[in-house]
Amino acid sequence: MADLSRLSLNTATVKEQWSLAECIEGCARHGIPGIAPWRDKLHDYGLELAVKHIRDTGLKLSGLCRGGMFPAADEAGRQAALADNRLAVDEAKALDAACLVLVVGGLPEGSKDIAGARQQVRDGIAATLEYARTVGMPLAIEPLHPMYAADRACVNTMAQANDLCDELGEGLGVAVDVYHVWWDPDLEAQIARAGKNVLAFHTCDWLVPTTDLLLDRGMMGDGVIDIPQIRGWVEQTGFEGACEVEIFSADNWWRKDADEVLGTVKDRHLKFV
């Protein structure tokens, strides 16, 4: 039977309306048991205050968004990215997050070398993973739709993410976001291949037409993704984590009252996830 016990709110869903403190209170008020903050909102609030607030409300963190963005045009940029990722690992650990989600980054400015960018991603993850293992914080690579290969993530398929997990080993997994992977003809097989390395599951919907490739995600049930099918594949791996709702919607959901949005999230989760 559908219920809300595994629902989690990614704070991007109401990023224009609420601070992190308001998101925490909103989840508690609406009976949403999980939350996944973005680091900009976390930094605005303060790590210690956020840790206490989340603990006091009993929320569970399905993940922290985000680490990654490894490629850079020079060594100084690459080292700065590694330092920021180490900080993100520490923040995720302090928050007792299920994982640190990695949006790995695209081409360095001025570059057309996507193979080189992917090598930088591999090396950056390896270095971050070495530290993350020492504190026990899992890292979850989130493959992004190929339209983001240049600017946001040059890991674009579950197969690419799985290859990195196979190579780099323990402590590294994947975040399955239906918006980014629903189109992949190998999705079922690659989710099965990931197995115990599935660390996060994100839901929203793909609208037809999509008016903005970044900021026009749909609420579950408003688009073309068969979310229950993908959830079934994910849960066949043994995944028992949260169904995390993450919606970027500049012209629709970000303009609505945040309490209304959370009410819709709960209703659509029950009906379409």
CA neighbours closer than 13 Å in the CB half-sphere of residue 239: 29
User: CATH number, domain at 122?
Assistant: 3.20.20.150
Q: What is the pLDDT of residue 30?
A: 98
Q: Encode pLDDT of 185-220 as tens digits.
A: 999 999 999 999 999 999 999 999 999 999 999 999
In the chain, helix, strand, coil percent, each to 5?
A: 50, 15, 35
Residue 188 placed within a domain? yes
Residue 1, pLDDT above cutoff 50: no
The answer to whether position 1 is within a domain reads no
pTM beyond 0.75: the answer is yes
The four Cα atoms 108, 111, 113, 116 give a dihedral, to 10 degrees, of -30
The answer to whether 69 and 169 are in contact (CB under 8 A) is no
Q: Quote the number of domains for the chain.
A: 1
Domain that holds residue 89: 7-272
The answer to whether position 2 is within a domain reads: no
**Digit-coded pLDDT (tens) for 151-187:** 999 999 999 999 999 999 999 999 999 999 999 999 9
Kindly state whether residue 122 falls inside one of the protein's structural domains.
yes
Please indicate, yes or no, if residue 173 is contained in any of the structural domains: yes
Sequence-ordered list of residues with C-beta below 8 angstroms from that of 223, at least 6 positions apart, any chain = 205, 206, 207, 208
